[in-house]
Amino acid sequence: MPSEKTLSDYYNTTGREDILTGGIKMIPIQTPFGEFKVWTKRIGNNPTIKVLLLHGGPGGTHEYLECFDSFFPAEGFEYYYYDQLGSYYSDQPTEPGLWKTSRFVEEVEQVRKALNLNKSNFYLLGQSWGGILAVEYALKYQENLKGLVISNMMMSAPAYGRYADEVLGPKLKPEVLAEIKELEAKGDFDNPRYLELLLPNYYAEHFIRIPVDKWPEPVNRTFKHLNEDVYVPMQGPSEFGIRGTLEKWDRTSDLPKIKVPTLVIGATHDTMDPEHMKWVSTQLQQGKFLLCPNGSHCAFYDDQKIYFDGLTKFIKDIDQGTL
C-alpha cells in the first residue's frame, strides 16, 4: 500500500484525484446564485479520447446512459457520466433562475475545465435535452471540442411540436389520442390515467421500443429520479412537444457556424423526426448522419449495434485523422 505522501504526490502529478473514489468527482460550480456541486464519474483512461455525456430531461439523470458501459470500455474510450445541476446525484437547489440554457452552458464549461478536457481529446455527446445543451455549448465554446455528437434531438422546438402533432399523434388509436388530448386540455397531467395511456401507446413505440414491464433497470431509475421542478418549467408537462421555457428554442439557422466534426444520430421510430435529423447533418460544416432504423428515442437500447458501431467509428475516425 503506497504511503499517504506517495498518493498525494501521485495526485499532484496526474490530476487524477478521483482514483480512490471509483472515478467519482464532485465539481464545484459557480452560478449567479452561489456555488453548488455536480456529480461526475470517470471510466477508462485514454489521453486522446475523452467523452462527456450530457443526459436528457432537463432534470433527468445519467443513469439511463449506463448501457455505454457495455461498449465504450471495449473500445478503450475514456468517458464521463455527469448529472447536471438539479439532477439526482448533484445538488438540487430550488432557485428557478438557475434553469436557463445559458447557465447550463457555463456549467458544462466549468465541468470541462475541472476534468482537464481540451481540443486534443474532448468529445461532447448530448442526447435529447442534452443535444440542445451540446449545440448551445458548441456555438459558444467549440474551440474546446475535438468532436460533437447530437443524439436524438431536433434543432427546433417548434418543428418538434409540429412533428408530434402532425405525425406522432395521428399514429395513436383515435380513442387514445382523444383521451390524451382531453386530459391535456384540462391540464390534468398528474392524473394517473395520463401516464397509463402514454406508457404502452407512446413511450413503448417512440421512447424505447421495449415492453414497459421489461424496461432496463437504469431507465426505470432515471424516471424514478427525474426532478420535475427542473423538467416541467423547461420542457413543460406535455409529452407532445415542448411547452416550457424551451418552447421557442430554434438553432436551425445557426448550424452552419459549427465547424467541429459532428455526428447527428436519428432513429426511425424516434419522437424526433429522422428526416429533420438528416437535414441537420447537411447544415453543419463537417456533419455526418447515422440512422438507427429499428430505434426510437433511446436507440442505444433498442438499436444498439447500429448506434454504437456508428458512434465508435465516428470517434475513432476523428482520433485517427481519417474523418
Q: What is the pLDDT of residue 15?
A: 45
- pLDDT reported for residue 20: 52
Q: What is the mean pLDDT of residues 4-15?
A: 38
What would the mean pLDDT of 19-32 be, rounded to a whole number?
87
Q: How confident is the model at residue 13, as a pLDDT?
A: 37
Q: Taking 50 as the threshold, does the pLDDT of residue 319 lie above it? A: yes
User: Mean of the pLDDT values across residues 83-97?
Assistant: 97
How far apart, in whole angstroms, are the C-alpha atoms of residue 156 and residue 248? 8
Out of 35-44, 238-247, 252-261, which region has the weakest mean confidence (pLDDT)? 238-247
Instruction: Give me the mean pLDDT over the 58-67 stretch.
Output: 98
Predicted local confidence at residue 321, as pLDDT:
86
pLDDT at 61 over 80: yes
Of 55, 206, 276, 297, the active-site residue reads: 297
Q: What is the pLDDT of residues 109-157, one digit of tens each?
A: 999 999 999 999 999 999 999 999 999 999 999 999 999 999 999 999 9
> Residue 241's pLDDT is what?
82
pLDDT given at position 11? 38
Give yes or no for residue 3 having a pLDDT over 50.
Answer: no
pLDDT at position 172 over 80: yes
Q: Say whether 270 is catalytic.
A: yes
CATH homologous superfamily of 18-158+246-319 equals: Alpha/Beta hydrolase fold, catalytic domain (3.40.50.1820)
Residue 18 has pLDDT above 80, yes or no: no
Cell of 193: 390515467
Mean pLDDT, residues 94-102 taken together? 97
- Cβ atoms of residues 257 and 167 within 8 Å: no
Whose cell is 447530437? That residue is 150
Three-state SS letters, the chain: CCCHHHHHHHHHHHCCCCHHHCCEEEEEEEECCEEEEEEEEEECCCCCCEEEEECCCCCCCCHHHHHHHHCHHHHCCEEEEEECCCCCCCCCCCCHHHCCHHHHHHHHHHHHHHCCCCCCCEEEEEECHHHHHHHHHHHHHHHHCCEEEEECCCCEHHHHHHHHHHHHHHHCCHHHHHHHHHHHHCCCCCCHHHHHHHHHHHHHHHHCCCCHHHCCHHHHHHHHHCCHHHHHHHHCCCCCCCCCCCCCCECHHHHHHCCCCEEEEEECCCCCCHHHHHHHHHHCCCEEEEEECCCCCCHHHHCHHHHHHHHHHHHHHHHCCCC
pLDDT at 17: 52
Above 50 in pLDDT, residue 1?
A: no
Arithmetic mean of pLDDT, 205-214: 95
Per-residue model confidence (pLDDT) at position 63: 98
213 is catalytic: no
All CATH 3.40.50.1820 domain ranges in the chain, comma separated: 18-158+246-319
Which is more confident, 24 or 14? 24
Out of 83, 91, 270, 273, which one is annotated catalytic? Answer: 270
Residue of 128, 156, 238, 296 marked active site:
128
Grid cell, residue 162, equals: 409540429
CA 96, 97, 100 angle in degrees (round to 5)? 105
Average pLDDT over the chain reads: 93
Question: Residue 21: its pLDDT value, please?
Answer: 66
Q: Which residue has the higher pLDDT, 188 or 306?
A: 306
Q: pLDDT at residue 7 above 90?
A: no
User: What is the pTM for the complete model shown?
Assistant: 0.92
- Catalytic (active site) residue 297: yes
Q: What is the pLDDT of residues 179-191, one digit of tens each?
A: 999 998 988 888 9
The pLDDT score that the predictor gives to residue 242 is: 87
Question: What is the layout of strands, in order, in the sheet containing 147-151?
Answer: 24-31, 34-43, 78-83, 50-54, 122-127, 147-151, 262-267, 287-292
Q: Write the pLDDT tens digit of every residue in 268-283.
A: 999 999 999 999 999 9
